[in-house]
Amino acid sequence: MKLWQRFIIATFDVIRPFFGFMNASCIYPVSCSDYAKHMITEKPGFKSVFLVVIRVLSCNPITAIIMRLKKR
């Protein structure tokens, strides 16, 4: 595994606990961080990064965070 792949996976491991509450509202059966780890280890180069960005943008977690904060 290349250094940039390890860096991105470590970043997802650090960020994941902060977005753990969103799993209930996720539209995908596999979380985005698990999907990102799989894509980065399986797909070559920046194609994997592109696929992860498309998935996160389609899920739109920022909107989910804002909606949950408004409900409080």
Please report the pLDDT score of residue 35 as a whole number.
Answer: 84
Q: What residue spans define the domains of the chain?
A: 3-71
The pLDDT tens digits of the residues spanning 36-59 come to 888 888 887 788 888 888 887 777
CA 33, 53, 60, 69 torsion: positive or negative? positive
pTM over 0.75: no
The kind and range of the H/E element at 62 are: helix 61-71
- Whole-number Å distance between alpha carbons of 64 and 58: 12
**pLDDT tens digits along 1-42:** 788 778 877 887 787 777 665 555 666 777 777 888 888 888
Answer whether residue 63 shows pLDDT above 70. Answer: no
